Amino acid sequence: MAAAGVTTTSYEACRLTVTVDEPFDRFRERFERAVPRFDAARFDELDREDASWADVSRLTAENAPHSFMIYWSLDASALMRLAGGTRRCVEYLMGNHVIAERMYRHDPAALLYAPLRLAIYDGERGESGERDQHGPLTCLTIDQPSSLFASLGDLDITQVGLELDQKLADLLAHLRVPVPPAIAGVR
């Protein structure tokens, strides 16, 4: 039996924030079309059928046309409004379990960061409480996948994290929003 103990790992993560020159509701709708919800009923059916991983992979590809699906979301806007907040924010857990499995097999702790956590929220308001003079701004914020997965210290997991950087860049390009330099052109 292994000795009990504690390991502490310090690491640096890179947070990416993309400012979108588009109203919150419109951008959120486009994001949710590009990243559809996880179809739990269809995956439950595969589980009941004791389907093969190839079947799971096929269904995942169908469910995630841009590599990602939404496993969970919370629109925190109403709750925060009760505390006086005026900005809208929706947080998401977005990922792909076929990709996550490629890390999980090396270290189950990879599930600390898979699925990825992402927030879409109203951009900054000016001093007067009005939107910036150029119109409504929306922000998308996510920690760079490779910076999270590299913290596990496994080169195979780090490589998958770099692939996720590229898939995130591809998703942002599909959404026609700026791609942060930290993930642009990652291959």
CATH number at residue 61: 3.30.310.70
pLDDT of residue 124: 76
First and final C-alpha spacing in the chain: 41
- Answer yes or no: is 65 within a domain: yes
- Answer yes or no: is 125 within a domain: yes
- Answer yes or no: is 45 within a domain: yes
Q: How far apart are CA 15 and CA 2, in angstroms?
A: 36
- Answer yes or no: is 156 within a domain: yes
Q: What is the mean pLDDT of residues 149-177?
A: 97
- Answer yes or no: is 9 within a domain: no
Number of domains observed in the structure of the chain: 1
Q: Is the pLDDT of residue 125 over 60?
A: no
3-41 tens-digit pLDDT: 889 989 898 999 999 999 999 999 999 999 999 999 999
Give residues with Cβ within 8 angstroms of 28, minimum separation 6.
90, 120, 138
Of 35-39, 103-107, 108-112, 181-185, the poorest mean pLDDT is in 181-185
3-class secondary structure, 187: coil
What φ, ψ does residue 90 adopt, rounded to 5°? -125, 130
Before 180, cis peptide (omega within 30)?
no
Strand pairing class (15-20; 116-122): unpaired
